[in-house]
Structure 1
Amino acid sequence: MIRAEQTSDKEVLKKVYDIRREVFIDEQNVPEEEEYDQYEDSSYHFVAWDDQVPCGAARWRETADGIKLERFAVIKSRRGKGVGSALVKAVLEHVASLPDTEGKKLYLNAQVSAMPLYAKFDFNPEGERFMECDIEHQKMVR
């Protein structure tokens, strides 16, 4: 059974960073200095579990433009099994549960291949596509 939850537990955060390393750095060749940034400590982090196995990660943070969802990663062996959807749902529920986020714009920079996932949650493309770390992205807003 897939479940996703917010975490600040140090041991679980290590697993979150391991998932991001596997997906972004090892698989997609994102430079390590681009993947881990100054926002790690000011973000809310999420982990997805398939039974007891950590298999997905995400985070959100507040920016001058609103609430930015980012760093969604699912390990290759668990893709297509609802992990990404569980993460998006958990992040959106968490954002909605906090009183100071009400009415703020929700947005993300989606890898183009992941746009259908975010569209299921009413995110719509805005602006032109762009390259980030040699991967085509599209800003999406809800």
Structure 2
Amino acid sequence: MQVKVVETKHELEQVFQIRKKVFVEEQHVPIEEEIDQYEKEAVHFLLLHHGDPAGAGRFRIVDGKGKAERICVLPEMRGSGAGKAIMEAIEEYARSQNVPALKLNAQVHAIPFYEKLGYKVVSEEFMDAGIPHKTMLKEF
């Protein structure tokens, strides 16, 4: 597995295809909510497995902290360490940007995954795109 910062239009299209498959098709998030106004300012990450796109995520700086967003892995790659690899790449990038912490809005079912990576819940539950979430934070 390899996680890389997206550098080409083709790689960005691969990221969007993965996100559409996971969030729009699988989780029924409306496409207009999934692809948003922050795409151009975000740094996108693409997970490749044997050269094939298998996962994605993005990073932005919001209110002086790093924010990991749109973390997703294709169904056939779940449980393989793919999500952890994406998060480690985003954390490494976040540290290179000298942000003091990384936050994310985790779907409630994914909270145990993020807790294993050192994130702590810092909010009450809220709904986003019809899915329950909680904000999580990891300080560096």
TM-score of the superposed pair, with normalisation by structure 2: 0.94
User: CA contact under 8 A between 2:123 and 2:135: conserved in structure 1?
Assistant: yes
Q: Deviations over 1:21-74 (max 9, x none)?
A: 000001100001100111001000001111111100000101125211100011
Q: Deviations over 1:99-131 (max 9, x none)?
A: xx333x321000111112211221100121111
Name structure 2 gaps, 5 residues minimum.
Answer: none
Name structure 1 gaps, 5 residues minimum.
Answer: none
User: RMSD of the alignment, in Å?
Assistant: 1.1
User: CA contact under 8 A between 2:94 and 2:102: conserved in structure 1?
Assistant: no
Task: State how many pairs are aligned.
Answer: 138
Seq. identity, %: 38
Cα distance in 1, alignment partners of residues 38 and 118 from structure 2: 26
SS of aligned partner of 2:134: strand
Taking the TM superposition and a 5 Å limit, the aligned residue runs for 1:20-39 are 20-39=19-38
Cα distance in 2, alignment partners of residues 109 and 71 from structure 1: 9
The ranges of structure 1 where at least 4 consecutive aligned residues each deviate by more than 6 angstroms after the TM superposition are none
Taking the TM superposition and a 5 Å limit, the aligned residue runs for 1:60-99 are 60-64=59-63, 66-98=65-97
SS of aligned partner of 2:57: strand
User: CA contact under 8 A between 2:64 and 2:99: conserved in structure 1?
Assistant: no
Cα distance in 1, alignment partners of residues 21 and 99 from structure 2: 34
User: CA contact under 8 A between 2:14 and 2:53: conserved in structure 1?
Assistant: yes
